[in-house]
Structure formats: structure tokens, C-alpha cells
């Protein structure tokens, strides 16, 4: 699909990989709605790129529908959905005091990363399926953001890895399901990227993480993620696939 002139939605667009993707799509001529639970972040990015900011919690159906409607009112119906919103925590199954890890912590990560992505995707797909078909019968494209932790999760990453593994597992059935509507689904599984989250870590920790990446031995740049996300939009034959973007990194147990 040609990006220029299309309306695009970017969840988690107020920071990090989502911000870089919102900026890249706007640079390539898309009309971008920045959806984020953090309205200030969304507004900062939207202002910079001439897009619209929508406060949106991907786990809340009313909130997502309101954001989709607001974005459509500003830009027309969207054909591109970039699901990039996500959270991450690490927690040992058996805590230091011997107690079991709280179930709510596990459920929260699954709720935002997996159920939130499905929530935004199903509402987007229902709207997108009603649009006229473009070349090849294509109507839309959506991205899931997994993680290499879906495959080689580290100690304590049970919830995060399960949520991202869920996205990996959902990619093909979703692509097959939506094929009849001409909507493609692809997933990027990033390795270690330099985002505000990562930059909070002490410099030596960042350096040691970077050194664990075979080549290039540095953290990924958010622009590299954004460039692949944009490529997925433009390459109509990419569908139902999970792409690792990780410099050949395979995470160690800890
Ligand atoms: N940075 C990395 O190295 C890395 C590696 C693998 C995967 N990822 C994934 O990439 C995505 C982006 O990560 P990042 O590093 O840019 O993080 P980030 O914290 O910089 O950005 C995440 C954004 O998502 C938003 N968000 C959180 N919960 C939300 C909700 N319920 N509804 C709407 N928005 C919500 C946050 O407000 C924030 O703006 C996440 O899904 C993360 O799991 C990141």
C-alpha cells in the first residue's frame, strides 16, 4: 500500500518505537493519529508531525472506539494500524520472601500487551473491512509489536514473554482471518532498542546489553524499527509473518 495520503493510527505513539514510527509515517506523507494513554506524549509528537493526538487506553473498548472515531473525523478512515503500545515488568515466580508472585501483575501485562493489541485490531479491522478495496483488493494493514522475549525470554519475564508470544501466535490466524477483507497482519519482534525506557538504565548496563548483540553491537535505533514498520505497509506480499529485528541477538537466561 502506498503510504502517502493514507490515514494511519499509531498506538503508543507518544514515546520510543511508536514515536519514531509516527514520525516516519508522517515523513512519508501519511496523516497520523497518535494514540497513547499518555496524552502529553501524544500531543508533543502530534504537534511536531502535524497529526492529531488521541488519549487512548488500548485495554478499554470505549476509549479505543472514541480514538478511532476522533482520528477518522480528522483524517478520514484509517487503513494503517501500528500497535506499538506496550508495558514490561519482570517478576520472579517465587518472590524473595517465599511468596508467590501476585497474579494481578501477570494479568496486567497480558491485558495491555496482548488483549489491548487485539482490542485495537478488531475495532480497526471492522471499520477497515467496510472501505473500498485498493490495488490487489487491499483494504488495510496492521502491525503487532512483539519482542525477542517471545522466543528467548529471560528469568522473570514470564508475563512479558507470554504476552509477546501471544502476539506471535495471533499473527498467522489473524492474517488468515482478515485475508477475505484484504487486510494484512505482520509482527516485528524487536531485540534491544534505545528508547526512553532503556535509556533510564545506567550507562554500563546499556553498554553491556549492546555488547551482547553480535552485529551491530549497539542498541537498535527507533528509526530502524520505524523503517521496517513502513516497509511492511508498502510491501503487499508481506503477510502473516513475524520478523525479528535484533542484530542476531539471542537473549541469555539472565
Ligand atoms: N525498547 C525495546 O528495546 C523493545 C524491545 C522489544 C519490544 N519492545 C516493545 O515495543 C513497544 C514500544 O516500546 P518502547 O520501548 O518504545 O516503550 P515506551 O515506554 O517508550 O513507549 C510505550 C508507549 O506505550 C504507551 N502505553 C502504555 N500502555 C498503554 C495503554 N494501555 N494504552 C495506550 N498506550 C499505552 C505508553 O504511554 C508509551 O508512550 C512495546 O510494546 C515494547 O514491549 C520494545
Query: Using one digit for the tens of pLDDT, what is the confidence trace for 101-157?
Result: 999 999 999 999 999 999 999 999 999 999 999 999 999 999 999 999 999 999 999
16 lines ligand 1 (CB under 6 A): yes
CA 228 to chain CA centroid, Å, is 12
84 lines ligand 1 (CB under 6 A): yes
Q: How many angstroms separate the alpha carbon of residue 86 from the centre of ligand 1?
A: 4
Q: How many angstroms separate the alpha carbon of residue 97 from the centre of ligand 1?
A: 30
Closest residue by CA, ligand 1 atom 40: 86
pLDDT at 12: 98
Residue 251 phi/psi, 5-degree rounding, is -70, 140
Q: pLDDT-derived band of residue 89, with 50, 70 and 90 as boundaries?
A: confident
Classify residue 108 by burial, with Cβ atoms within 10 Å: 0-12, 13-18, 19+.
Answer: middle
Closest residue by CA, ligand 1 atom 19: 197
Q: Is residue 143 part of a domain?
A: yes
Q: Is 118 a catalytic residue?
A: no
Q: Is residue 252 part of a domain?
A: no
Q: Is residue 254 part of a domain?
A: no
Q: Is residue 178 part of a domain?
A: yes
CATH of the domain at 230: 3.40.50.720
**For the CA atoms of 6, 132, 18, 58, what is the dihedral angle to 10 degrees?**
140
Selected catalytic residue, list 160, 167, 220, 249: 160
Give yes or no for residue 197 having a pLDDT over 90: no
Q: Is residue 157 part of a domain?
A: yes
Q: How many angstroms separate the alpha carbon of residue 16 from the centre of ligand 1?
A: 7
Q: Is residue 133 part of a domain?
A: yes
How many independent structural domains does the chain possess?
1
Atom number, ligand 1, closest to the C-alpha of residue 190 = 6
57 lines ligand 1 (CB under 6 A): yes
Predicted TM-score (pTM) of the model is 0.98
Q: Is residue 251 part of a domain?
A: no
210 lines ligand 1 (CB under 6 A): no
Q: Is residue 109 part of a domain?
A: yes
Q: How many angstroms separate the alpha carbon of residue 21 from the centre of ligand 1?
A: 12
Q: How many angstroms separate the alpha carbon of residue 41 from the centre of ligand 1?
A: 12
Reference 30, options 41, 22, 40, 18; nearest CA is 22
Give yes or no for residue 35 having a pLDDT over 90: yes
Give yes or no for residue 198 having a pLDDT over 90: no
Which domain range does residue 171 map to?
7-245
The whole-angstrom separation of Cα 51 and Cα 26 is: 8
The whole-angstrom separation of Cα 251 and Cα 90 is: 15
Q: pLDDT-derived band of residue 225, with 50, 70 and 90 as boundaries?
A: very high
Q: What integer best gives the mean pLDDT of the chain?
A: 97
Query: Cβ distance 249 to 212 under 8 Å?
Result: yes
pLDDT at 199: 85
Amino acid at each position: 500500500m502506498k503510504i502517502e495520503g493514507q490515514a494511519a493510527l499509531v498506538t503508543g505513539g507518544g514515546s520510543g518505537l511508536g514515536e519514531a514510527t509516527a514520525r516516519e509515517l508522517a515523513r512519508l506523507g501519511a496523516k497520523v493519529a497518535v494514540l497513547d494513554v499518555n496524552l502529553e506524549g501524544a500531543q508533543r509528537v502530534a504537534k511536531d508531525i502535524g497529526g492529531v493526538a488521541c488519549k487512548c487506553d488500548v485495554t478499554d473498548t470505549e476509549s479505543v472506539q472514541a480514538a478511532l472515531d476522533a482520528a477518522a473525523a480528522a483524517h478520514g478512515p484509517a487503513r494503517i494500524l501500528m500497535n506499538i503500545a506496550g508495558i514490561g515488568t519482570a517478576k520472579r515466580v517465587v518472590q524473595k520472601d517465599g511468596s508467590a508472585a501476585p497474579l494481578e501483575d501477570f494479568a496486567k501485562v497480558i491485558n495491555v500487551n496482548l488483549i489491548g493489541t487485539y482490542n485495537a485490531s478488531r475495532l480497526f479491522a471492522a471499520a477497515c473491512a467496510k472501505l473500498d478495496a485498493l490495488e490487489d483488493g487491499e483494504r488495510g494493514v496492521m502491525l503487532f509489536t512483539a519482542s525477542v522475549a517471545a522466543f528467548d525470554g529471560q528469568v522473570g519475564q514470564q508475563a512479558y514473554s507470554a504476552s509477546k508470544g501471544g502476539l506471535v501466535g495471533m499473527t498467522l490466524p489473524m492474517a488468515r482471518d482478515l485475508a477475505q477483507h484484504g487486510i494484512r497482519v505482520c509482527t516485528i519482534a524487536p531485540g534491544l532498542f534505545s528508547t526512553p525506557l532503556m535509556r533510564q538504565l545506567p550507562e554500563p548496563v546499556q553498554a553491556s546489553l549492546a555488547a551482547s548483540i553480535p552485529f551491530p553491537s549497539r542498541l537498535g535505533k527507533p528509526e530502524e524499527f520505524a523503517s521496517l514498520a513502513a516497509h511492511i505497509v508498502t510491501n503487499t506480499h508481506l503477510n502473516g509473518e513475524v520478523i525479528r529485528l535484533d542484530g542476531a541477538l539471542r537473549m541469555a537466561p539472565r
